[in-house]
Structure 1
Amino acid sequence: MSSHSTSHRSPQRSKTWLLAVVLLSVFVMPISISGTAIAIPAISQDLGTSPTGLQWVVNGFNAAFAVFTLLWGVLSDRIGYRATFLAGLVIILAASIVSAVSGNLLTLDVGRILAGAGGAAVFTGAAALLSNAFDGPQRARAFALFGTTIGLGLALGPTISGGLVAGIGWRGVFGLFAVVMIVALLGSPTIPHLRHEREAGQKAVDFSLLANKKFLSMVLVPVAAAIGYVTVLSYLPVALSAVHGMSAGTAGLFMLPMTVPVLLGPMIASFLTSRFKRIGPMTMINAALVALVLGDLGLLLLGADSSPQLLIAPMILLGFGFGFPIGLVDGEALLAIPARSSGTAAGVLNFMRLGSEAVVVGAYAAVLAALLRSRIADPVVAETTAAGAPGHGATYASQFHLIVIAMAILTAVFTVVINLLHKAHGRAGAAQEELGGPVVVEETQDQRIERVA
């Protein structure tokens, strides 16, 4: 055969420890996305208010994570999944230490870029380890816990980071990452040696899959979510600081209405789609996209003279808008392509998901900073306001409104495009069936992953 995996089958206790180490390591990755922005106002007070430098505290991790996802996908087949996972842990540990002791924004940004590169290795290695170490129902449960852990980290990231900033300062956020990596490395002896060799000529990432209209429609869903939700998740705490003078700890708690639904959404979507035949994946995806548009428009209620409590309902809508499609999108995307291309498809999907988050979060911060510079004459004051310093709440809110309107429009446009692509795929399938086209027999799960007993 052209591909193989090598492993030493371990007893159930070893598998349990492996799962624990993987989930612990993965838990802090989404916190780096959703929680780090909470610390920006405090970081700006210590290290300066350079808009570019502060943006890269968040964007450096996101951009490196997206780019290195492709690189580690290729390297992991050559050096092994255990080696990839452990390399990620070591890189994040070193990056977290650099970030925690940074004396300037440039050093902090370098640490964040390194952390993103390490995070990509952890995610790549973790998914492959679970896929090869577990079979059947155990494998399904392991990946369910994997997804739940990601959602939990994303949901609790702002609250955990806000508490750390309030209690011990912004350096404590990166200190937490370092501690978790040390604990994970201590558990590394439980990680099996696994490697899957690629077939000759097999592409690491095959973007020709985007020619499949259904696959493309599913790939665009997380892009729309990045525009409508991830930008707000990253920078609403900064807006709350600038407009209402809200502290990091308070902002972290205030974000719960927007993050808790991320945990509940996947379970609700799974229940509804399995219980009611008329509610399919696209129904839930469209409900999510509409919720994102309405939630973004609801953020127009943010104002210096209005209560922040008015934002709770829009935040709940945004949380469910992001949470409903989690799991559904990946499943529908992989169903759209042959099973032999499932790994490649997952790589494309994750690259588009993470890459779009990096782009839109960076664009949001850059556009907001530019708008504030156009409205505030003093460039230093404009920079501090963009970093979340109170004092010009009304100006910040007015420019924030322009951005969320643009976000709502873009999300609505993506919603239309997604539905048009999905319907076009359905029409093409129906036409092929009428013409007596060939029936494609998909591989079974056991055929997708070759295992050594």
Structure 2
Amino acid sequence: MPRPRLSLAVILLAQFVIPLSISGTAIALPTIAAELGSAPAPLQWVVNGFNLAFAICAIAWGVWSDRIGYTRSFRIGIAVAAAGGAISAIAPTIGILDVGRVIAGIGSAAVLTGAAPLLSHLFQGKARAKAFVLFGTVNGLGLAAGPAVSGLLLSVWGWRGIFAAHAVVLLVALIGTVKLPVLGRGSTSLRAILDFSALRAPGFVAMTLVPVAGAIGFVTFLTYLPSAIGAVHGLEAGVTGALMLVMTVPVLIAPIVVHRLLERTRITTTGVVVTSLACLLLGGIGVLVLLRPDLPVMAGVAPMILLGLGFGLPLGFVDAEALAAVPAERAGAASGVVNLVRIGSEAVFVALYAAILAAVVTAALPGPVGELIASGGAGEPWVYRDGLVAAGGAMVVLVAATGIAFLVFSRSADKRAAVRVARGDEGLRNGEPSRNVQPNGCTN
């Protein structure tokens, strides 16, 4: 008989490594640059190679998991991701390190797109809602804890220890998959790999914009704030990673609190998202204003807490509402779309942030010195800050634009829901869930 709690533990363990890998790698870039070379393009591919491979493969893995089985694709993904981590840990050159990161991204796409459908099949009702709260919390916690955990590993075992730790955890999870029930095997329907039909529903589009806003306003800052703090204040990686924990605690607590509020009060998911967007905007502006060489490093703590809240508040319901928009047998494809948008936006905007930062810094300091400073090296704090303001300012503007788009699509979804109620039809139409249904099964 399946043991849901054990299965949940295995799924969450494998899933945890993925966001950890996304956000935690940049803290090691100065050390990697010193050992393997500081050329901007291959160095940034250590971060972006993983993200882009994940984004490109997420939708394909989503559909394939519907056809070969969620458990099988989940296991394959863990094995591939572990191999990528091992290659990265022993890489003798920056090129091989980039290859290892791409392989890890390919496997991680299968892990995450298989995890959500497995949860949907293993749990029902309130148990499913709680499982998705944990799913969102662990995903957010992995992102938020990435710099802190990686900073600790970096200070103890060097940059290779970061990737070796990823591989070891994934191997433990792979052993644990022998206890997973075989689910989702043998879907025989043929469908296009690029199945974006759910995007016809404005409610689905609105929810997909939530992780986009989180990618722009949180993941970009989270990925490069450790380098920024090191470059601006001259702190070592281990100390910087520990400081980043102030962004982790809100991500850990917020989804649990929101789940209880949705269950016990009349607060809506739309209200939660609007609050999270406000936190992202205020936190981003605060970082740009207060992260300066002439101010104490602790001046930036409050904005970092706001960024953590902005990202953490909607984590517990985004995936559940997205998967509720499609039939259960299409859950893999739907998960692929959600993760394509989530990780694709992280890949695009993290790369955009890095490109703007590097362009500003190297324009002021051409040559190898500028390349080293752009990667987070110490020595020119005001030059680095100029790049930070340019890159971070662009992200703040994009968060505001994404928030406006979310409100537009949410209002459109509410109007459609009102029309369906007036017609006596509150069921699903064109793959769109009723907007008055909460992920915990309650209604507003």
Distance in 1 (alpha carbons) for counterparts of 2:300 and 2:26: 19
Deviation of residue 200 (structure 1)?
3.0
Deviation of residue 133 (structure 1)?
4.2
User: For 1:255, what is the secondary structure of its paired residue?
Assistant: helix
The answer as to whether partners of 2:232 and 2:378 remain within 8 angstroms in 1 is yes
Match among 303, 313, 332 for residue 314 of structure 1: 303
User: For 2:314, what is the secondary structure of its paired residue?
Assistant: coil
Q: What's the counterpart of residue 401 of structure 2?
A: 413
Deviation of residue 184 (structure 1)?
2.5
Q: What's the counterpart of residue 9 of structure 2?
A: 20
Distance in 2 (alpha carbons) for counterparts of 1:272 and 1:383: 47
Structure 2: state its 5+ residue gaps.
434-444
**CA 1:405/1:346 → structure 2, altered by over 3 Å: closer, same or farther?**
same
Deviation of residue 151 (structure 1)?
2.9
Q: What's the counterpart of residue 48 of structure 1?
A: 37
Distance in 1 (alpha carbons) for counterparts of 2:137 and 2:42: 32
The answer as to whether partners of 1:372 and 1:395 remain within 8 angstroms in 2 is yes
Distance in 1 (alpha carbons) for counterparts of 2:113 and 2:231: 37
Deviation of residue 269 (structure 1)?
1.8
Distance in 2 (alpha carbons) for counterparts of 1:297 and 1:391: 25
**CA 1:388/1:72 → structure 2, altered by over 3 Å: closer, same or farther?**
same
Q: What's the counterpart of residue 427 of structure 2?
A: 440
Q: Give the alignment's TM-score, normalised by structure 2.
A: 0.90
Q: What's the counterpart of residue 448 of structure 1?
A: none
User: For 1:194, what is the secondary structure of its paired residue?
Assistant: coil
Does residue 232 of structure 2 align to residue 243 of structure 1? yes
Distance in 2 (alpha carbons) for counterparts of 1:59 and 1:409: 22
Deviates more, 1:171-180 or 1:123-132: 123-132
Deviation of residue 31 (structure 1)?
0.7
Distance in 2 (alpha carbons) for counterparts of 1:82 and 1:428: 36
User: For 1:200, what is the secondary structure of its paired residue?
Assistant: coil
Deviation of residue 303 (structure 1)?
1.2
Distance in 2 (alpha carbons) for counterparts of 1:16 and 1:429: 36
Distance in 2 (alpha carbons) for counterparts of 1:119 and 1:126: 10
Match among 52, 62, 68 for residue 63 of structure 1: 52
Distance in 2 (alpha carbons) for counterparts of 1:32 and 1:375: 31
Distance in 1 (alpha carbons) for counterparts of 2:133 and 2:258: 14
Q: Give the alignment's TM-score, normalised by structure 1.
A: 0.88
Structure 1: state its 5+ residue gaps.
1-9, 445-453
Distance in 2 (alpha carbons) for counterparts of 1:57 and 1:98: 12
Q: What's the counterpart of residue 82 of structure 1?
A: 71
**CA 1:213/1:173 → structure 2, altered by over 3 Å: closer, same or farther?**
same
Does residue 108 of structure 2 align to residue 114 of structure 1? no
Distance in 2 (alpha carbons) for counterparts of 1:188 and 1:142: 17
Q: What's the counterpart of residue 290 of structure 1?
A: 278
Match among 141, 157, 165 for residue 168 of structure 1: 157
Deviation of residue 385 (structure 1)?
0.4
Q: Could you tell me which amino acid in structure 2 is paired with residue 418 of structure 1? A: F
Deviation of residue 340 (structure 1)?
7.0
The answer as to whether partners of 1:215 and 1:334 remain within 8 angstroms in 2 is no
Deviation of residue 268 (structure 1)?
2.1
**CA 1:311/1:95 → structure 2, altered by over 3 Å: closer, same or farther?**
same
Deviation of residue 228 (structure 1)?
0.7
The answer as to whether partners of 1:205 and 1:347 remain within 8 angstroms in 2 is no
Match among 210, 214, 217 for residue 225 of structure 1: 214
Deviation sequence 1:385-437 (CA, Å, 0-9, x none): 01111111001102211222221111111111211221122234434555x37
How many aligned positions are there? Answer: 430
**CA 1:312/1:330 → structure 2, altered by over 3 Å: closer, same or farther?**
same
Does residue 345 of structure 2 align to residue 356 of structure 1? yes
Distance in 2 (alpha carbons) for counterparts of 1:214 and 1:19: 28
Deviation of residue 384 (structure 1)?
0.3
